């Protein structure tokens, strides 16, 4: 048996127009990877099919009766985060393109009208189908950032590493196996590089090289990695010697952020037992957090408003922010005197600390 | 011709996110608003109920709130508590989408 047949990807094509379903079904079946193409004439049918079996790619129209494409995509993003998603639509309103991307779709295509556009569309889909299988990136996630940088430098690679740690983002430029620049927030060069290395966790992405990037780092990568490791060790040692800032739990770390009055953390869903610091009765707050996150998440789906990013509450006694990171929900209480802008900035810190 | 259009299937439409505000009383009745009439009233009521419930339950959790901001990737809802009711502002967010693919 042909090996490609054994491992063929499954595509789910959703459109309320049966003629288009048939036409695109045929087109997609002819992709080089020979995917198995399944079709659904509406959102509800598509959800049932996704529930029944795993798919690699969802290609979805936007304008459909009963359940429109934005609703389908909202639910899909939440329930099947690994599923690749493509919007294929005749809608030209820029608002809907923005909203689709805000929902996390991989591609947004207007229904192709020329042979050239069809060809490009199919090439994009083929690339999307193969991307995960060909990339080694997911395997790298279990290695440390130092391992990845060494790997890039030893292999004389040229690339830009983008490192995301919660809301923080940093970039490291590597040219012909040499570290040439780094950027993290306002920092650049060696300082930025050391800052990025202090993040213990994160996700990595390799971007195309930028040979024209100005060089700000002149030391060898080995020397710089050694210096960064020493600097981190010294910082830990100093904190331990002062006997102050060595919190014993992650929650203690978070509660030391300026302005924080309390922190409550729990796994999302009903089963997660809340853990809190600075709260006398965390059960009430946990119940409110859980109910509010669920209430406004569901409202967002009905409104097709995209991902629920954060809920902020301002009160006469204290302010509060609810957020979610991965499977963890947070309720962080802030001093009443802080402005919303200050709270947002510090909340980013809290989430970044938790991620690291 | 009129007979034919009577049975014609109406084309599906997509819900646009509205910009505007509305005021709701403590019972959830919408009193006044500046949202476009094309935005479904049941969704306005839905927003009102969720916001009022969030204010009420926060008070039960001993966290009285005067203002709530709910941030979605495409929309921001801001609600101010108003004697048991609320004034609610909706503002769609502009998002930088990648360049057109077609």
SS (H, E, C) A158-208: CEEEEEEECCEEEEEEEECCEEEEEEECCEEHHHHHHHHHCCCCCEEEEEC
Contact A73, A87 (CB under 8 A): yes
Structure token pair of residue A19: 């003629």
B36 touches chain A (CB under 8 A): no
Residues B68-80 pLDDT 10s? 999 999 999 999 9
**Chain A residues whose beta carbon lies within 8 Å of the beta carbon of residue B71:** 308-312
Beta carbons of B14 and A96 less than 8 Å apart: yes
What distance in Å separates the CA atoms of residue B50 and residue A298, rounded to the nearest whole number? 10
* 3 state SS of A312: strand
**Measured between CB atoms, which of B71, B93, B102 is closest to A117?**
B102
Contact A145, A152 (CB under 8 A): no
Complete DSSP assignment for B21-39: EEEE-TTS-EEEE-S-TTS
Structure token pair of residue A158: 């040229």
The pLDDT value recorded for residue A253 is: 80
Contact A64, A14 (CB under 8 A): yes
Reference A63, options A100, A38, A101, A28; nearest CA is: A100
Sign of the dihedral defined by the CA atoms of residues A315, A318, A324, A330, in that order: negative
Q: Which residues contact A264 (CB under 8 A, 6 or more apart)?
A: A274, A275, A276, A279, A282, A285, A286, A289, A330, A331, A332
Interfacial B residues in 70-99 facing A (CB < 8 Å): 70-75, 92-98
Identify the closest residue of chain B to A282 by CA–CA distance: B61
Beta carbons of B17 and A304 less than 8 Å apart: yes
Contact B68, A313 (CB under 8 A): yes
CA distance B20 to chain A (A): 15
The pLDDT value recorded for residue B4 is: 54
CA distance A83 to chain B (A): 20
**Measured between CB atoms, which of A98, A109, A288 is closest to B63?**
A288
Beta carbons of A317 and B94 less than 8 Å apart: no
Identify the closest residue of chain B to A118 by CA–CA distance: B102
Residues A60-93 pLDDT 10s? 999 999 899 999 999 998 888 889 999 999 888 8
Contact A350, A332 (CB under 8 A): yes
**Measured between CB atoms, which of A63, A121, A295 is closest to B13?**
A63
Reference A97, options A110, A84, A85, A82; nearest CA is: A110
Q: Is the pLDDT of residue A49 over 90?
A: yes
B57 touches chain A (CB under 8 A): yes
Residues B83-92 pLDDT 10s? 889 999 999 9
Look up the ipTM and state it.
Answer: 0.86
The pLDDT value recorded for residue A200 is: 62
Q: pLDDT band at A270, cuts 50/70/90? A: low
Residues A283-342 pLDDT 10s? 889 999 999 999 999 999 999 898 899 999 999 989 999 999 888 899 999 998 999 899
Residue pairs between chains A and B whose CB atoms are closer than 8 Å: 152
CA distance A49 to chain B (A): 22
In chain A, the percentage of residues whose pLDDT exceeds 90 is 34
> Dihedrals φ, ψ of A186, to 5°?
-85, -10
Beta carbons of A98 and B60 less than 8 Å apart: no
What distance in Å separates the CA atoms of residue A178 and residue A173, rounded to the nearest whole number? 8
**Chain B residues whose beta carbon lies within 8 Å of the beta carbon of residue A94:** 97
What distance in Å separates the CA atoms of residue B16 and residue B90, rounded to the nearest whole number? 12
Q: Is the pLDDT of residue B47 over 90?
A: yes
The pLDDT value recorded for residue A209 is: 81
Beta carbons of B74 and A306 less than 8 Å apart: yes
**Chain A residues whose beta carbon lies within 8 Å of the beta carbon of residue B64:** 315-317
Beta carbons of B73 and A305 less than 8 Å apart: yes
The pLDDT value recorded for residue A148 is: 76
The pLDDT value recorded for residue A2 is: 43
The pLDDT value recorded for residue A52 is: 94
């Amino acid at each position: 048996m042909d090996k490609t047949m054994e491992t063929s990807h499954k595509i789910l094509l959703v459109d309320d127009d049966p003629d288009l379903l048939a036409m695109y079904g045929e087109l997609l079946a002819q992709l080089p990877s020979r995917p198995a193409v399944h079709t659904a004439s509406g959102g509800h049918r598509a959800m049932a099919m996704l529930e029944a079996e795993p798919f690699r790619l969802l290609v979805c129209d936007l304008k459909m009766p009963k359940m429109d494409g934005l609703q389908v995509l909202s639910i899909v993003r939440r329930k099947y985060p690994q599923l690749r998603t493509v919007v294929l639509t005749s809608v030209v309103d820029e608002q809907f393109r923005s909203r689709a991307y805000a929902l996390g779709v991989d591609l947004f295509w207007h229904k192709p009208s020329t042979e050239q556009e069809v060809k490009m569309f199919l090439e994009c889909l083929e690339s999307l189908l193969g991307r995960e299988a060909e990339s080694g990136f997911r395997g790298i996630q279990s290695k440390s950032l130092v391992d990845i940088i060494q790997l890039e430098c030893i292999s004389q690679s040229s690339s830009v590493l983008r490192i995301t740690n919660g809301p923080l983002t940093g970039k490291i430029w590597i040219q012909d196996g040499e570290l040439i620049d780094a950027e993290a927030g306002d920092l650049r060069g060696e300082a930025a590089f050391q800052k990025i290395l202090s993040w213990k966790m994160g996700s990595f992405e390799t971007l195309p090289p930028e040979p024209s990037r100005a060089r700000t780092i002149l030391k060898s990568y080995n020397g710089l990695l050694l210096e960064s490791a020493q600097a981190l060790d010294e910082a830990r040692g100093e904190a331990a010697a002062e006997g102050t800032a060595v919190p014993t739990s992650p929650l203690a770390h978070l509660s030391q952020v300026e302005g924080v009055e309390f922190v409550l953390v729990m796994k999302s869903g009903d089963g997660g037992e809340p853990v809190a610091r600075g709260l006398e009765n965390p059960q009430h707050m946990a119940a409110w957090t859980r109910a509010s996150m669920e209430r406004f998440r569901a409202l967002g789906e009905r409104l097709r408003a995209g991902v629920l990013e954060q809920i902020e509450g301002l009160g006469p006694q204290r302010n509060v922010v609810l957020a979610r990171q991965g499977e963890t929900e947070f309720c962080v209480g802030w001093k009443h005197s802080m402005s919303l802008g200050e709270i947002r900035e510090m909340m980013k810190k809290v989430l970044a600390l938790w991620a690291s | 011709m009129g007979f034919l259009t009577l049975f014609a299937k109406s084309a599906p439409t997509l819900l646009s996110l509205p910009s505007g505000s509305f005021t709701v009383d403590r019972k959830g009745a919408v009193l006044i608003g500046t949202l476009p009439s094309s935005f479904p009233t049941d969704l306005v009521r839905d927003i009102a109920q969720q916001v009022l419930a969030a204010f009420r339950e926060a008070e039960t959790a001993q966290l009285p709130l005067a203002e709530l901001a709910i941030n979605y990737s495409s929309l921001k809802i801001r609600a101010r508590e108003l004697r048991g009711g609320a004034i609610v502002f909706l503002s769609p967010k502009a998002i930088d989408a990648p360049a057109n693919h077609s």
